[in-house]
Structures are given as structure tokens and as C-alpha cells.
Amino acid sequence: MDEKPCEATILAWSRLVRAGQAVFGSVEDDLKAAGLPPLGWYDVLLELRRAGGALRPVEIEDKLLIAQHNVSRLIDRLEKAGLAERRACKNDGRGQFVAITEKGLALLPTMWPVYRAAIQKHVGHQLEGAEAATLASLLGKLIAPAVAR
Amino acid sequence: MDEKPCEATILAWSRLVRAGQAVFGSVEDDLKAAGLPPLGWYDVLLELRRAGGALRPVEIEDKLLIAQHNVSRLIDRLEKAGLAERRACKNDGRGQFVAITEKGLALLPTMWPVYRAAIQKHVGHQLEGAEAATLASLLGKLIAPAVAR
DNA sequence: TAAGATTGAGCCGTCAATCTTT
DNA sequence: AAAGATTGACGGCTCAATCTTA
């Protein structure tokens, strides 16, 4: 097991960080230009809708791999924007439920076309044929260890 | 030219963001665990050394694609840590020079072994054979448009 | 004691405004 | 007016501490 990375590994590292930040930033820019909230909001609202409308903060934490205190503040912002709201948890007095509001449900189909077009513009259009699938497969190998750990 | 991304593109997008953040975070964690400064500091100090010891802030901006005001604050931190220092620019009264200090020069060889091992651990070890080169090549296609724009 | 969640302090990046020099 | 650079205000993340309930 080598301790030192080869040239190709260093190049892959460098481009991974650069491409990740560049593409993410470009997609967020497109959302912002359309007057829409950032990706983090979309992710949470989507999980809430998928779950039937509500989740415990700790479940959001697990699904999206966000730290507890960051989930807490993200919910603050969603609540302030009227997109979600906190409700007491009957089973567990310590916990809460976060529920998506009508306004939050209405936001998702507004964001998706812009989000989708941005992904196609900044990722899809740059790759040909099976390249996207190959890229996804290789990136999957880099994500797995973090999950398994 | 499709407006909608295919499934493989969406998966590539999702994993690109996740892998980029996960790998970057893991490498930064390893540096922090060794009591070393973040990657951004290394990048600037390395460019300064490569340039023979000093650069204009605007050159750092161009080489590392960092916004002007962020370069300004990054230099503040490096200066406060005694790793770099500001000097007046003789040719252009508006500008300045940022010079790496002895302490800054000494830091680079301290960081590299840890940085290098982290890259190998979080990228190199997860890929086999020519996979790193393939990944680097595909990621290069995603970076190019941002540069060309 | 541990789990769920929040809060205050501090760091870093972004936006807009500002200052100096060209 | 434009370029190089800085600054103040603010948003979001991280650390450590805190609070409540299990």
C-alpha cells in the first residue's frame, strides 16, 4: 500500500476539487440568477416531501449528512421563509418534527426546471455518450469509504 | 441540444458534489489533525515559492481563481501568522507585493508529507490501475468550459 | 449518562461601497 | 473612468457549551 500518490492521482485530486467547486458554484449561480434559494434548501424540502411531509431533524441529519447544529440553523431559515415549520414530537419529548408547508411544496416544482437545466448545462453538455456513467461510477468509488467508515 | 439531463448525468452531478466535498473535507481534516493550516494557505505559499518568493495580489487572484477581497483577507491571515508579508510595489503605486517569509518557506515541507498521504488515502487507494487517469480526464472536461468562458 | 436539539462566539466567504493610483 | 486593493456588514459553517428529556 503506497504512501505516496502517483501523478495521475494528484491530478485527479486537484481536478476533483476544482470541478466540484466550479460546477456546484455554477449551478448555484444559475439558481440565484433566477431568484431562487440555494441547493441546500431544495435538498431538505425534497426529503420532506419524499417522507410524506415531515421528518425529525435527526433524520434530515442522517439523510443529507449535515451536522446537527447546521440542520438546526437551516430549519431556522426555512421556517423564516415560510417554507417549513417546526412541530412538537408526541413520542419523544426531546425531539421535534419539521413539516413542509404549502409554500414549500409549491417551491419545489418552481426550482426543478432551473436546477435540471443547470445540471445539463454544466455537466451533461460537457460529456458524451457513456462518459457520464463512467464518471459517476468512478466518483462512487471515492464516496463509498466515507459511508462505510 | 437537450435541455433535460439524463439519469446518468444527474447521478454524475450528485456524486461529483458529494465526492468533492467529502474528499476535500477528509484531506482538510487530516491536515487539521496534524496541527497544520488549511489547504488555501498551502496553495498561496506554494505559488509564492514557485514565483521566486513574491507575487502581486492580483496574480494570486488569477492563478488560484480566488476573488479579490478573499485574497486580501487570506493575506491578512498569512501575515498575522508570520508566513507572508506585504511590501510596497515600486512600479505601481496602487499595487503591493506579497512575499513569503522564512517561516512560510519552512512550513511547506512540513505540510506536504501530510497532504500527500491524505491524497493517497482518500483518492489513490480508492482507485485501481488507470482509473485515476480516466477520472482526471473526465473531470478535465467539466473544468474547461469555466476557463474558456 | 446519553440523545435530540439549540445557542453564542469566532472564522471564512460574499456583497457592496470605498479609497488610491493610473 | 478603470484597475488594484481594502473594508464593513452580513450569511453560513464550526466549535464548544448548554438545555431538556429519555
Please give the nucleotide, over all strands, whose C1' is closest to the CA of residue B37: C11
Instruction: Provide the pLDDT for residue A144.
Output: 76
> Hey, are the CB atoms on A23 and B13 less than 8 Å from each other?
yes
Q: B17: which chain A residues are within 8 Å (Cβ-Cβ)?
A: 20, 23-24
Residue A145 confidence (pLDDT) above 90? no
Please give the nucleotide, over all strands, whose C1' is closest to the CA of residue B21: D13
**What is the rounded distance in angstroms from the CA atom of residue A69 to the CA atom of residue A67?**
6
Question: Closest to B20 (Cβ–Cβ): which among A20, A131, A134?
Answer: A20
pLDDT tens-place string over residues B4-25? 899 999 999 999 999 999 999 9
Helix (H, G, I), strand (E, B) or coil at A97: strand
B62 touches strand D (CB under 7 A): no
Residue A149 confidence (pLDDT) above 50? no
Tell me the percentage of chain A whose pLDDT exceeds 90: 88
Instruction: Find and give the residue nearest to D3, measured CA to C1'.
Output: B94
Please give the nucleotide, over all strands, whose C1' is closest to the CA of residue A68: C5
Q: Does A132 touch chain B (CB under 8 A)?
A: yes
Residue B116 confidence (pLDDT) above 90? yes
pLDDT tens-place string over residues A52-111? 999 999 999 999 999 999 999 999 999 999 999 999 988 898 889 999 999 999 999 999
CA of B52 to C1' of C21 (A): 27
Instruction: Find and give the residue nearest to C21, measured CA to C1'.
Output: B94
**What is the rounded distance in angstroms from the CA atom of residue A138 to the CA atom of residue A140?**
5
Residue B147 confidence (pLDDT) above 70? no
Nearest Cα to Cα of residue B140 among A135, A132, A19: A19
pLDDT tens-place string over residues B66-102? 999 999 999 999 999 999 999 998 889 889 999 999 9
Q: A114: which chain B residues are within 8 Å (Cβ-Cβ)?
A: none
Residue A15 confidence (pLDDT) above 80? yes
Instruction: Provide the pLDDT for residue A129.
Output: 87
Q: Which of A23-32, A72-81, A139-148, B110-119 comes out lowest in average pLDDT? A: A139-148
Q: What is the mean pLDDT of chain A?
A: 94
What are residue B3's phi and psi, to 5 degrees?
A: -90, -25
pLDDT tens-place string over residues B23-41? 999 999 999 999 999 999 9
* A:B CB pairs within 8 Å: 172
Instruction: Provide the pLDDT for residue B146.
Output: 57
CA of B51 to C1' of D4 (A): 20
Residues whose CB is less than 8 angstroms from the CB of residue A52 and which lie 6 or more positions away in sequence, other chains included: none
Residues whose CB is less than 8 angstroms from the CB of residue A24 and which lie 6 or more positions away in sequence, other chains included: A39, B16, B17, B20
Q: Does B116 touch chain A (CB under 8 A)?
A: yes
Residue B54 confidence (pLDDT) above 60? yes
Instruction: Provide the pLDDT for residue A91.
Output: 87
> Hey, are the CB atoms on A9 and B143 less than 8 Å from each other?
no
Q: Point out which residues pair with B97 in neighbouring strands.
A: B87
**What is the rounded distance in angstroms from the CA atom of residue B127 to the CA atom of residue B120?**
10
Q: How would residue B64 be classed by pLDDT, with cut points 50, 70 and 90?
A: very high
Q: Point out which residues pair with A134 in neighbouring strands.
A: none
Residue B149 confidence (pLDDT) above 50? no
Q: How would residue A27 be classed by pLDDT, with cut points 50, 70 and 90?
A: very high
CA distance A57 to chain B (A): 20
Residue A148 confidence (pLDDT) above 80? no
Alpha helices in chain B, H assignment, sequence order: 7-33, 39-50, 57-64, 68-80, 102-122, 131-148
Please give the nucleotide, over all strands, whose C1' is closest to the CA of residue B59: D4
Instruction: Using a cut of 0.85, tell me whether the model's pTM lies above it.
Output: yes
Helix axis angle, B102-122 to A7-33, nearest 10°: 90
Instruction: Provide the pLDDT for residue A89.
Output: 87
> Hey, are the CB atoms on B5 and A138 less than 8 Å from each other?
no
The three-point CA angle B44-B39-B97 to 5° equals: 15
CA of B100 to C1' of C13 (A): 23
Instruction: Provide the pLDDT for residue B1.
Output: 65
